[in-house]
């Protein structure tokens, strides 16, 4: 299997090529954190009264460390520490939404969740909270699309949006099949993502640099 690539936008694509783990996480779920699975009542999203600047800054710092590890070979403790901290944040706040931490830090929380492949239970919990936040128009639908596919791929299931791509000898290809591929561009448009062909063209250029 080639190297998996993820990105929400063209601006994030080059960064997240380096962030994506090689291959897929094992299908077995390993619950390494204490984050509770949200119930239908607990998951109800509450709009924050003001931005939590301390949490925003922390999330941005965590993403900076994530980038430094992958792009520069720095050592900040690896994904496991960031995953554990995200579990604590989810338990205390729910999803770090636009109204709670702003758009940049919401993206940072998503990136941490996206790279929490070592703890699939936590990844699913993050997906549940992000789903609720998007339903409240308080988080990125594109981030939701990517995390939806990431969780599906890690479970060995078909993707919904075709976001999880691997670079192979013949260029980019989906890590797992895309469900109902004929209508995938409609789903991508609903999530604010470009057509699949455009995404493949972008990824093809990045894959060419990898080989």
In a domain, 38, yes or no: no
In a domain, 37, yes or no: no
Structure confidence at residue 48 (pLDDT): 52
Cα→Cα distances 111→66, 177, 184, 189, 204, Å? 9, 23, 23, 21, 22
Calpha distance 15→5 (Å, rounded)? 10
Q: What is the pLDDT of residues 17-31, one digit of tens each?
A: 333 333 343 333 333
Mean pLDDT score of the chain: 83
Give the range of the structural domain holding residue 67, as residue numbers without chain letter. 3-29+50-210
Confidence of residue 42 (pLDDT cuts 50, 70, 90): very low
Q: What is the pLDDT of residues 98-150, one digit of tens each?
A: 999 999 999 999 999 999 999 999 999 999 999 999 999 999 999 999 999 99
Calpha distance 4→182 (Å, rounded)? 23
Answer whether 147's CB lies under 8 Å from 123's CB.
yes
In a domain, 45, yes or no: no
Number of domains in the chain: 1
Q: What is the pLDDT of residues 192-205, one digit of tens each?
A: 999 999 999 999 98
């Amino acid at each position: 299997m080639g190297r998996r690539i993820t990105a929400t936008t063209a601006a994030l694509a080059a960064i997240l090529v380096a962030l994506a783990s090689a291959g897929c996480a094992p299908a077995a779920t390993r619950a390494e954190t204490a984050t509770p699975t949200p119930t239908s009542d607990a998951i109800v999203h509450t709009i924050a009264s003001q931005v939590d600047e301390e949490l925003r800054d922390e999330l941005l710092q965590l993403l900076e460390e994530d980038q430094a590890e992958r792009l520069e070979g720095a050592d900040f403790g690896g994904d496991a520490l960031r995953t554990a901290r995200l579990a604590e944040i989810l338990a205390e706040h729910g999803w770090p939404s636009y109204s709670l931490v702003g758009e940049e830090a919401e993206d940072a929380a998503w990136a941490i969740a996206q790279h929490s492949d070592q703890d699939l239970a936590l990844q699913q919990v993050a997906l549940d909270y992000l789903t609720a936040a998007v339903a409240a128009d308080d988080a990125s639908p594109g981030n939701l699309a990517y995390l939806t596919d990431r969780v599906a791929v890690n479970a060995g299931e078909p993707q919904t949006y075709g976001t999880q791509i691997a670079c192979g000898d013949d260029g980019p290809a989906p890590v797992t099949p895309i469900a109902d591929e004929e209508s995938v561009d409609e789903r991508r448009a609903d999530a604010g993502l470009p057509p699949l062909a455009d995404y493949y063209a972008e990824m093809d250029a990045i894959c060419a640099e990898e080989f």
